[in-house]
């Protein structure tokens, strides 16, 4: 199946700093990628849909100025958590569909990035 | 938006027994019904999916059944093994929606 990678796998930062997370589709092109957040023992919550070459679509309640998304190419989307605070500590997971492949409905997930803000 | 409910929230079975997890959704436009398995600290992995024109699908020990009229679908795992222990999520997707909406999850524990 299609492969999605993320970098870094974990990051620890001080409160007030910004953190960038990269999501790549390794063997397919993705015009759309999805960013989820998962707190401990909870479900995955969709934060935003990243669109190649245009603005991201944010879910209700997600601050677009705090979570900056850039989808500059067909294989790379980035999520920047600006001015991170301890409450932003979470597991961030990206996802994409290979809409030109055999399993066009399947959503593939990256390995996630664990963020800890001190 | 789609309201998704999973039951039960936790399930403990003995190795070799069967496990059934039910997912109820609200959007009648849903036409794609996957189940994902997530082990601790790992990414969700697709284990089985079904489309709205099919009532049942089976893949070895795993099966999914769909009742579109009642708006629910269920995951069935037979002959459970300790490595089946994980959190399982249902993620029904309505037509026209690109992203999956995750249910609340079911923590399955298979006791050896």
Beta-carbon count within 10 A of B55 CB: 12
Binary contact (B100, A109; C-beta < 8 A): no
pLDDT tops 70 at residue A51: yes
State which residues of chain B have pLDDT below 70. Answer: 1
pLDDT of amino acid A103:
78
For all residues of chain A together, what is the average pLDDT? 94
pLDDT of amino acid B7:
97
B2–chain A Cβ distance below 8 A for any pair: no
What residues of chain A lie within 8 A of the CB of B34, using their CB? Answer: 105-107
pLDDT of amino acid A2:
85
B62–chain A Cβ distance below 8 A for any pair: no
pLDDT of amino acid A74:
92
Average pLDDT over residues A47-66: 94
What Cα–Cα distance (Å) separates residue A63 from each residue in A46, A67, B75, B77, B87?
13, 6, 35, 40, 29
Mutate to test the interface with B, among A1, A43, A57, A108 (most CBs of B within 10 A): A43
Joined tokens for residue A37: 């957040």
pLDDT of amino acid B1:
67
Joined tokens for residue B65: 């059944």
Q: Is there a cis peptide before residue B8, judged by omega within 30 degrees of 0?
A: yes
Q: What is the 3-state secondary structure (H, E, C) of chain A?
A: CCCEEEECCEEEECCCCCEEEEEEECCCCCCEEEEEEECCCCCEEEEEEEECCCCCEECCCCCCCCEEEEEEECCEEEEEECCCCHHHCEEEEEEEECCCCCCCCCEEECCCEEEEEC
B51–chain A Cβ distance below 8 A for any pair: yes
CA B52 – CA B20 distance, rounded (Å): 20
What residues of chain B lie within 8 A of the CB of A43, using their CB? Answer: 89, 102-105
Phi, psi of B92 (to 5 degrees): -65, 140
Q: What is the 3-state secondary structure (H, E, C) of B78-108?
A: CCCCHHHCEEEEECCEECCCCCCCCCCCEEE
Q: What is the dihedral of CA B24, A57, B46, A4, to 10 degrees?
A: -170
Higher per-residue confidence, B52 vs A118: A118
pLDDT of amino acid B54:
84
Average pLDDT over residues A74-85: 96
């Amino acid at each position: 199946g299609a492969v999605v990678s993320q970098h870094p796998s974990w990051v620890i930062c001080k409160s007030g700093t910004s953190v960038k997370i990269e999501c790549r589709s390794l063997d397919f092109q993705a015009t759309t990628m999805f960013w989820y957040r998962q707190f401990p023992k909870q479900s995955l919550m969709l934060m935003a849909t990243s669109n190649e070459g245009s603005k991201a679509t944010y879910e209700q309640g997600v601050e677009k100025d705090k979570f900056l998304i850039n989808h500059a190419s067909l294989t790379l989307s980035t999520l920047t958590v600006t001015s991170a605070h301890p409450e932003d500590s979470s597991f961030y997971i990206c996802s994409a569909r290979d809409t030109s492949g055999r399993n066009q409905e399947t959503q593939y997930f990256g390995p996630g990035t664990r963020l800890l803000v001190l | 938006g789609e309201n998704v409910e999973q039951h039960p929230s936790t399930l403990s079975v003995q190795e070799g027994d069967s496990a059934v997890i039910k997912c109820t959704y609200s959007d009648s436009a849903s036409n794609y019904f996957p189940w994902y398995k997530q082990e601790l600290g790992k990414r969700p992995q697709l284990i089985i999916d079904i489309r709205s024109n099919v009532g049942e699908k089976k893949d070895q020990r795993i099966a999914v059944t769909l009742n579109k009229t009642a708006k629910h679908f269920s995951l069935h795992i037979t002959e459970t093994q300790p490595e089946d222990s994980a959190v399982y999520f249902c993620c029904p997707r309505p037509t026209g929606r690109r992203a999956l909406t995750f249910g609340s999850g079911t923590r399955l524990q298979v006791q050896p």
